[in-house]
Structure 1
Amino acid sequence: MTTTNPSAVGHPEGSGTEHAGHVETRGIDLVPEEERGGRPRQLFAVWAAPNVSYLSFVVGGSLILMGLTLAQALAVILVGNLLWICTGVLAVSGPAAGTSGSVISRAMYGVLGNKAVLVLTGWLIAAAYLALNWSAASVAGIGLADRLGAPHGTAVSAAVICAVAAGTLLIAIFGYGLIVRLYSALSVLLTVVFTVVTGYVLHHADFSYAPAEPLHGGALAAALGAGFAIIASTPLSYSNSPDLARYLPRDSSPVAVAGWTAFGAYLPSTVFTAVGALAATRLDMSDPESALESILPGWFVPVFVIAVVVNTMTNNGMTAYSAGLAIQSVGVRLARIPAVLIIGVLGTAMTLWAILVFDFLTSVNTMLQLVVVVTGPAMAVAVTDLLMRRNRYRGEDLLAEQRGGPYWYHRGVHLPGVLALLLGGVTALMWANTSFWTGPAADALGGVDLAIPAGMAVAAAVYGATARALRTIPRA
């Protein structure tokens, strides 16, 4: 990648392929120090825009539908979103290594072991999250099409889904420069729209709400566990935070990088999920789109729907961008743009299936509860590795892939990482409780879902102990 002013990343006077008006051609290759710029505080808007989210309303409303009181739901929201701290901590490896998170994870799993992990975490789960968010936007977009008099049917629904997907993939194709510039403006605009919605919700909310039959004992514990899993699943899915921080200077403050990333996501996610819970105290959030539109003035409904679609594009733009890098990291000989298009096609197909075949709300809750079986242990391994190495990653070595290199380990596999991910995943599965799977450990405890704390604790403990025993991580 070339640039006429390499230091201009994040500055309006710069030009080059990382500028908002140019398609980014850089893939997973190292970002040279002279091509880095900007400040960690830019990350606040980058992470705020995708989390000023309609899906937050949906998830917040689902907590009340589970039978929780308003106070219990708000407590789950506050605690579950604290997992954004992990996303922030992981982001500090971006400036240190100067390459994508899908390459940095070679330090945890080995050059060859990382390829297998990325197929699961970088492709399939990324595509599933694309489908989840596109589903949310498509449901709203299809409703707007009906309101505008478009013929109701599968063809129109499919057209809306494909249009939303196409707009998202454009963001991912233009890449980092567009994301940084565009999201700063969109975070403000989306906040304004969703704040207006919040005002109407607060006007109708019942702050003294209590379910007709309050939960007690094991039933309450099960609902709290499921709610925590749903809330925490979102921050745990963002292992791509180094991708958006890698263009920052190497000497950027780790505290600032972690803080702006975590706070940028935590604040809007917490606020608007809480608004969803408040909405459910008076509205039937089993159909969130219709429920929210029922309290909004008619002229504002199209504005709200457009904001939902735009928010989905910002969220999935980041996901598709990182998924394209993951495809390159696996070793598929594709430029970044074709890689983005492949993951986009897969996500679009899953969206069509979710919208046209399954109930939207059921799809959301089931996926968010089950996906943490993988994302929780993976996040625990990544954070543990970063702390053990004290964030000392060398991008040149990570990209080398040669036999005998520092990240080749034994036959290309880092046993501690693979073992920790497997054992953490099995543990999480045993403690998971979803609509179609209840693990034996969760069942023995009355259906309490402890997949996240159990899976993450086991993964971190196994990784730390095994890496120390095998001495695969050099002491700082």
Structure 2
Amino acid sequence: MNTAYEAAAPLAAAPAAMKIETHGIDIIPDHERHATVFDFMRIEWGGANSLATAVLGSFPIIFGLSFWQGVAACITGVVIGGLILAPMAIFGAMNGTNNAVSSSAHFGVVGRIVGSFLALLTAICFFAISVWSSGDALVGTLHRLFGAAESEWLYGLAYGLFAGAILLVCIYGFQLMLVVNRIAVVVVTGLMIIGLIAFWPQFDQSFAGAGLAVGGEGFWPAFIGSTLIVLSNPISFGAFLGDWTRYVPRQTSKFRLMGAAFLAQVLTLLPFLFGLITATVVAAAAPDYITNANYTGGLIAVAPAWFLLPLLCLALVSGMSTGTTSLYGTGLDFSSVFPALSRVQATLLIGIISIVLIFVGRFSFSLISSITTLVTLIIVMTTPWMSVMIVGAFLRRGYYLPEHMQVFNQGKTGGAYWFRNGWNIAGITAWIPTALLALATVNIPGQFVGWLGNLFGGVDVSLIVALVLPAIIYPALLFVFPEPRAVYGPERPAPRSRVGRSNRADHLSDNHRRPENEGVVDGSGCGYCRGGPSGGRVRAA
């Protein structure tokens, strides 16, 4: 790995948790990178080790699978999703910024707003699931213990209070979020294990669901749909891993980071299986809750009385962990999309918008439709973006110019990643059609079926489309829309174009590829940038 950014400041003391974070998406200096690989893994694990994940784990039962078929769907989704996600852990440590900004290298410094949009979509989805599941648990517990009426105003109050608490943690920033996750991982894991003990006497591992035979009619759409719901959880972290790995020292092994990212997802099998097991209990004891896709309400209804308060604690603590990891990164990134806003102001704005959408999604639409639509969009939109990023990192051999990624949020133009007016045509063109085609091939029975969803006998092939096609199209497009040699570093040539290269590409190849010019953003070390065409020069917009 080679980057143009190196910090020489002395090691500073770790910041306090209750001090509001001032960093936006600017490069984190080396002397402020105190997080360890274990810290990173704990935040990622804590973000998914929650009742919200258990809600996703209940979907195989909602879709009619048996318990063991549901186990297979959960394991398949977690493992495949974890493998796809793992390479996304390396960008933050290499570039000192989040993954959306790092995507400037492959989508352009303006085109990286694609990553910002995907982060917003994911944040709203999992922030919403966290608030819904935790709020429902609170209202359900109050109903069972005190006979409180399950009215809409009580649900609204619960959602508002919980969403506000999450937003407050996100405003304080990374260090407080790290403290919350350190506590949440231990507490939630312990409570889920106690919960499995509480529900075990009612659990029947021979639960048959809708009686779908493996390979029989209706099985594959239900199985693949369930797998994709599970897989959406690891995929949802794709835009966020850099938020946390940017605080890890840049010399940290890439393989350790990828291993930690994958292991954190494997550990989420606990909440997935908790959701799956308890969903079978709810389906047997109170089937109307499963029919109405109200897993949390059913969980409260059938829980042993002694476990109600621990279950409420589980919902609140785990929801706080998942909600903060979702919302924090989006506020962080949108402070760069709208440079006039600080990180705190952007977080507050995104939080308010998300809270409004939470209420609209809960009270104006079907809850299950809201969740399946959001997770479907996450898979088909985020996976192609991740595919381009991963393939691009391989082609560049991990060579990046971090300062050149900061052009957009600094209000400037030019630089190695300016490409064509801030857009990398190859990356954008690989993303847009594959995302749309993947959306068209979605087939989640009874929930979301694209116009090509029945093309393969009802089998959902959206993941294959979203993952494989960009990995083929992006490298091929580099021969049509060549990138300047400068982005490949001094040791690797760019793909040769058969259609010729611009003066700008020639200039960057011959000048910025030289070691003495690497990292030059203002053009001060490059005669061409000082006096010739715009080339790789960065200038105020």
- Mark yes or no: TM-score above 0.5: yes
How far off its partner does 1:169 sit? 1.0
**From 195, 198, 208, the counterpart of 2:196:** 198
Aligned to 2:391: 384
C-alpha distance in structure 2 between counterparts of 1:96 and 1:108, whole Å: 15
Aligned to 2:528: none
How far off its partner does 1:314 sit? 1.1
Length-normalised TM-score, structure 2: 0.80
Asked if residue 361 in structure 1 is aligned to residue 368 in structure 2, the reply is yes
C-alpha distance in structure 1 between counterparts of 2:370 and 2:467, whole Å: 24
- AA aligned to 2:442 is A
How far off its partner does 1:331 sit? 3.4
**From 54, 57, 60, the counterpart of 1:63:** 60
Q: CA RMSD in A?
A: 2.2
Aligned to 1:39: 36
Deviation per CA, 1:439-463: give whole Å up to 9, x if none: 2432122322121121121122212
C-alpha distance in structure 1 between counterparts of 2:380 and 2:92, whole Å: 25
Deviation per CA, 1:170-210: give whole Å up to 9, x if none: 22112111222331222001111111112223332212232
How far off its partner does 1:426 sit? 1.6
**From 423, 430, 435, the counterpart of 1:420:** 430
How far off its partner does 1:334 sit? 0.5
C-alpha distance in structure 1 between counterparts of 2:186 and 2:96, whole Å: 29
How far off its partner does 1:141 sit? 2.1
Asked if residue 457 in structure 1 is aligned to residue 468 in structure 2, the reply is yes
Deviation per CA, 1:4-63: give whole Å up to 9, x if none: x9746xxxxx453xx212111111111111221232122221112122221232222220
Asked if residue 49 in structure 1 is aligned to residue 46 in structure 2, the reply is yes
- AA aligned to 1:263 is L
- AA aligned to 1:42 is D
- AA aligned to 1:249 is P
Checking the alignment, whether the CA contact within 8 Å between 1:76 and 1:224 is kept in structure 2 is: yes
The 5-angstrom pairing of residues 170-185 of structure 1 reads 170-185=168-183
Q: Which moved more, 1:163-172 or 1:379-388?
A: 379-388
Structure 2 vs 1, CA of residues 403 and 46 (structure 1 numbering), >3 Å: closer, same or farther? same
By relative contact order (CA 8 Å, sep 6+), the higher-ranking structure is 1
Aligned to 2:531: none
Structure 2 vs 1, CA of residues 214 and 72 (structure 1 numbering), >3 Å: closer, same or farther? same
Aligned to 1:11: none
Checking the alignment, whether the CA contact within 8 Å between 1:190 and 1:311 is kept in structure 2 is: yes
The 5-angstrom pairing of residues 306-325 of structure 1 reads 306-325=313-332
Q: Which moved more, 1:215-224 or 1:313-322?
A: 215-224
Q: Which moved more, 1:315-324 or 1:258-267?
A: 258-267
C-alpha distance in structure 1 between counterparts of 2:67 and 2:140, whole Å: 29
Aligned to 1:130: 127
Aligned to 1:259: 259
Length-normalised TM-score, structure 1: 0.91
Deviation per CA, 1:395-433: give whole Å up to 9, x if none: 212113443311100111101111111121122012112
- AA aligned to 1:298 is A
How far off its partner does 1:80 sit? 0.8
Aligned to 1:409: 419
- AA aligned to 1:250 is R
Aligned to 1:272: 271
Q: Find the residue that maps to 1:413 and give its secondary structure.
A: coil
C-alpha distance in structure 1 between counterparts of 2:40 and 2:148, whole Å: 39
C-alpha distance in structure 1 between counterparts of 2:306 and 2:197, whole Å: 16
- AA aligned to 1:229 is L
Asked if residue 111 in structure 1 is aligned to residue 118 in structure 2, the reply is no
Structure (1 or 2) with the larger CA radius of gyration: 2
Aligned to 1:26: 23
- AA aligned to 1:156 is L
Q: Which moved more, 1:359-368 or 1:191-200?
A: 359-368
Structure 2 vs 1, CA of residues 240 and 66 (structure 1 numbering), >3 Å: closer, same or farther? same
Aligned to 1:219: 218
- AA aligned to 1:310 is V
Asked if residue 328 in structure 1 is aligned to residue 335 in structure 2, the reply is yes
Q: Find the residue that maps to 1:202 and give its secondary structure.
A: helix
**From 153, 156, 160, the counterpart of 2:154:** 156
Checking the alignment, whether the CA contact within 8 Å between 2:66 and 2:209 is kept in structure 1 is: yes
The 5-angstrom pairing of residues 219-298 of structure 1 reads 219-238=218-237, 239-267=239-267, 269-284=268-283, 285=290, 286-298=293-305
Aligned to 2:167: 169
Q: Which moved more, 1:130-139 or 1:185-194?
A: 130-139
- AA aligned to 2:443 is N
Asked if residue 74 in structure 1 is aligned to residue 71 in structure 2, the reply is yes
- Unpaired stretches in structure 1, ≥5 consecutive residues: 9-13
How far off its partner does 1:339 sit? 0.5
Checking the alignment, whether the CA contact within 8 Å between 1:61 and 1:277 is kept in structure 2 is: yes
Structure 2 vs 1, CA of residues 98 and 119 (structure 1 numbering), >3 Å: closer, same or farther? closer
Checking the alignment, whether the CA contact within 8 Å between 1:438 and 1:447 is kept in structure 2 is: no
Aligned to 1:352: 359
C-alpha distance in structure 1 between counterparts of 2:210 and 2:82, whole Å: 33
The 5-angstrom pairing of residues 430-445 of structure 1 reads 430-434=440-444, 435=446, 437-445=448-456
C-alpha distance in structure 1 between counterparts of 2:414 and 2:52, whole Å: 46
How far off its partner does 1:302 sit? 2.2
Asked if residue 448 in structure 1 is aligned to residue 447 in structure 2, the reply is no
Matched-pair identity in % = 25
Q: Find the residue that maps to 2:111 and give its secondary structure.
A: helix
- Unpaired stretches in structure 2, ≥5 consecutive residues: 1-8, 284-289, 493-541
